[in-house]
Structure 1
Amino acid sequence: MTKITSPTRTQRKAQATRTAIIEHAERFILEHGAMALTLEIVAERADVAVQTIYNRIGGRSALLMAVAEKAFEENKAYMDAAYRTAGTPLERLEVAARGYFRFAMERPTAFRLLADPPNDLEALSRVSELVRHQNSKMEAAIADGIADGSIDAGVDAHLAALSLWAAANGILSLAWRADSTPVDTHAMERLWMQWMTIAIKGLQPA
C-alpha cells in the first residue's frame, strides 16, 4: 500500500506564496488590464521579490497563463457538475444555465477574466479551450433534444450553443461593464431568468 505523505511546511509555504501571487495579478488585471501588468508591480503587491515570481510561476506570460488557468478550473468545476445532472435535454440546458449564473455571481473575478481574457497567446488559447469544452456539452444537449423532438429540428446545434454562450456573457457582463449602468444581483437574477425563458422557448418546436 502506497503511503500518502503530507506536504512539508516549506512546500505549503511555497504553494501559499504562489497562490497569493496569482491572486494579486488577477486583481491587478481587473483594475488596470493585462497590458499594464508587470512582474515588478505584482511583486510589490504580493510583497515578494521578482525572482520569487520566476521561481514559483515563471515569467510574465506564465503568470498570465496561471491567472487564466485559475479562472478555467473554477468555471469547469461549476459547469461539469451542472452537466452531470440527469434530465431531458432542455432540463440539462436549464441546469447548465443556472450553474453558469451561479459561477458568474459567486466567482465574479474568474468570470470577468474568462469573458475578457488577458491578451496573451497562451492565456487566450486556454480560455478558447474552455469555451470549446463547455460549448461542446451544450451542443450535445441541443443535439439530443433535436433527436428526441423536444428541440426544433431546424436548429443548428453548434451555432445555437455558440450564440447562447455569447448572449449569456453579454447579459452577465452588465454587472460590471463600464459603459452601462451596473445591474445589482437581484435585478440580474430576474434578467437571467427572463433570458432563460426566452432561450428555452426559442429552442422548442413551433
Structure 2
Amino acid sequence: MTRTQRRAAATRKAVVDAAREIIVSEGPAALTLEAVAERADVAVQTIYNRVGGRSALLTSVAELAMEENRAYMDAAYEAEGTSEERLLLAANAYVRFARERPHEFRILVDPPNDPETLDRIAALIEEQNAKLADVLRDAVAEGTTRTDLEPEQISTVLWATMNGLLALAWRADRLQTDADGLDGLLATYVGTITDGLRRRAEP
C-alpha cells in the first residue's frame, strides 16, 4: 500500500469512527455530514470522496455494529455446555448487546432504506442466524430438541421475536416498556420457547 493509499484509508477510518461516535452518543437522527466533518476535522467533500453520503455512513457504522454483535454472539456459540445452554447464552448475549449499544442495535433492526445497506445488513444477519440454526441442529443430534422443527425457520422466529420485544424499549407511546418490564417479558419468552423446543419423552 502506498503512502497516498494509507493516508486515504486513515481518513476513511476517521470519518467512519466519527459517524459511529455521533450515533453511539446521540443516536442516528443526529448523524449529518456536517457533524461528521466537524468531529473528524475534514471537509464535507472529503466524506463523499472517502465514504459517500449519509446512507453510506450508516452502512459503514452498521457493519461495525454487526461485527460487534458477532463478537457477543460467537462467544456464546463457542462456549462450553449443552446446546440448550448455548442457546440461552446466545439469547442473553443478544439482549446485552441491545442494552449496551442501543443506537447501534437499532440500526441493525431498522436499517436505512438504501438497497446496498439493506443487502449488506441482511447478509450479515443471515450469517449469524445460520450459526443459531447450527446450534439447534446440535440440539436435535443430542436428542434434547424436537425433530419436527426446521432449524432455519426457528432461528428466524427467535431473531425476529427478540427484535420485536427489544423494540418495545424505544416506542413513543404508552406501550413503551421499561427495563424491568422488558426483563419480565424476555424471561417469559425465553422460558416458553425453551420449553417448546424440548423433545418430549415417548409415551
Distance in 2 of aligned mates of 1:122 and 1:29: 21
Q: Choose from 136, 139, 145 the match for 1:145.
A: 139
Which ranges in structure 1 are unaligned for 5 or more consecutive residues?
1-7
Conserved 8 A contact 2:55-2:112: no
Conserved 8 A contact 2:169-2:178: yes
Q: TM-score when scaled to structure 1? A: 0.81
Counterpart of 2:17 in structure 1: which amino acid?
Answer: T
Alignment map for 1:126-165 (pairs within 5 Å):
126-165=120-159
RMSD over aligned Cα atoms: 2.7
Distance 1:10 1:204, change over 3 A: closer
Identity %: 44
Distance 1:168 1:83, change over 3 A: same
2:101: which partner in 1?
107
What's the CA shift for 1:9?
A: 11
Counterpart of 2:172 in structure 1: which amino acid?
Answer: A
Conserved 8 A contact 1:175-1:183: yes
Counterpart of 2:28 in structure 1: which amino acid?
Answer: L
Distance in 2 of aligned mates of 1:180 and 1:187: 13
Q: Choose from 12, 28, 31 the match for 2:29.
A: 31
Conserved 8 A contact 2:133-2:152: yes
**Secondary structure, in 3 states, of the residue corresponding to 1:135?**
helix
**Alignment length (residue pairs):** 192
Counterpart of 1:155 in structure 2: which amino acid?
Answer: L
Task: Establish whether residue 75 from structure 1 lines up as the match of residue 69 from structure 2.
Answer: yes
2:3: which partner in 1?
none
2:170: which partner in 1?
176
Which ranges in structure 2 are unaligned for 5 or more consecutive residues?
1-5
Conserved 8 A contact 2:16-2:61: no
What's the CA shift for 1:92?
A: 0.9
